[in-house]
Amino acid sequence: MTPSDGTLTPGQTAVFTVKVNEPVSVKDGVPTLALNDGGTATYDPVNSTPTKLVFTHQVQPGQNAADLAVTGVATNGATIADLAGNGVDLSGLVGNPPGILQVNGSTPTPVTGTTPIIVSGGSAAGTASAAATATLGVYRFFDTNTGTHFFTADGNEKDGLKNSASRGYRPDLVQETNGFGAIDPNSTDTSKVQVYRFFDTAHGTHFFTASQTEADTLRNSNSVGYRPDLVFEASSSFYEHATQQSGDTAVYRFFDSKFGTHFYTGDQKEYTAITTPGAATFRADLVSEGVGFYAPTGTFT
């Protein structure tokens, strides 16, 4: 496990590396490791090799552990076998790796009450609720070609996708009503963080992260998590909260094991529908990676 010692906070990543004696393959699913901080480590096919299986876990707010350990293994429909077709038993991974790696996912108490509004001259002109209301939105589209979703916080890009007279017209993208709010990048909100947008050249989709550590890792050619297939789109990034503030909505991030992409939703009803086993809308192919970020209140369609 890397790192083997120290303390991880929200946005930081633990990497579990499993070495095997002979080449193996992972097909038809994405295995995960259950962890004692309440999260999961997800199989990383990009950084894995036939003799090395890599699982990554990004700490989310609210996850805590005195010493990070593996509590279970789920194949999620995946077949893990050697060249002769013999299955590989991963149950031996359950346990505590060497070292002491603490997870501190504690989040600050959301601000409540009112905050004075200071106008020119320094006098208090009134009060404003600490719960921010979004003035910008992140728009969501369903890609009818790939079965995945596209998100944009750029109103001009959104309009161009729907305008048949535009060079950027995409009739294959159908706008949905499950968008969420975003923070004005020019605001004085000291809790805002950048959500980095990457174009996934392997799948023709996009990946988003509110973790600067993860974003830097993806772009660092010397990092074990380097992803040359992900192209950073700086001008298409937007801003949200990394920790929940008063009035915020959690935006959940899932790994789509069917397409090898990611899915995001800030709709609590949708989240419940796709994560409840036995429900007609349950999506076993979507592996939860926790809360991606928190969005201020707002409905944008």
Q: Could you report the per-residue pLDDT of 164-189, keeping only the tens digit for each? A: 999 999 999 999 988 899 998 888 88
Q: Could you report the per-residue pLDDT of 118-135, keeping only the tens digit for each? A: 232 332 333 333 445 556
Q: Could you report the per-residue pLDDT of 220-275, keeping only the tens digit for each? A: 988 878 899 999 998 899 999 888 888 888 899 888 888 888 889 988 889 889 88
Q: Are 283 and 274 in contact (CB under 8 A)?
A: yes
pTM over 0.85: no
